[in-house]
Amino acid sequence: METPICPTCNCSLVRLKISREAAAISHYDDEDYYFCCQGCADIFITDPQKYLQEISDLIVCPSCLGEKPRQMAVKEKIAGQEVYFCRCPHCIDTFRDKPDYFLHRLEW
């Protein structure tokens, strides 16, 4: 499950409670990218490849909404899809109690 991450500051827009409608947008290489603020969008356009590379391997834990590099995360297969967690056993246990809630929360 993917959730948007601001390419410039590497923050989850879901964690910041920024909706698609409220996010700043920048168009690059035939794609729209979403940002937590216009300042981040302005910085992004100075070197888009640099910022996209920085977030290329980040995941968002569905339980705590923390951003982590994929290589530092724990992967579990849930309902046929790979779900990444921040490594905290509490996050995985919490997720297992209400998986639909946490998966839905990541939808944007």
What is this structure's pTM?
A: 0.85
| Beta strand extents in the chain (DSSP E only) | 24-28, 31-35, 58-60, 67-69, 74-78, 81-85
* 18 within some domain: no
* 82 within some domain: yes
* 45 within some domain: yes
Query: What are the per-10-residue average pLDDT scores of the chain (108 residues)?
Result: 86 94 95 96 97 95 95 90 92 92 86
* 88 within some domain: yes
Q: Residue 15, SS3?
A: coil
* 92 within some domain: yes
Give the pLDDT of residue 2.
Answer: 67
Please count the structural domains in the chain.
Answer: 1
Give the pLDDT of residue 104.
Answer: 87
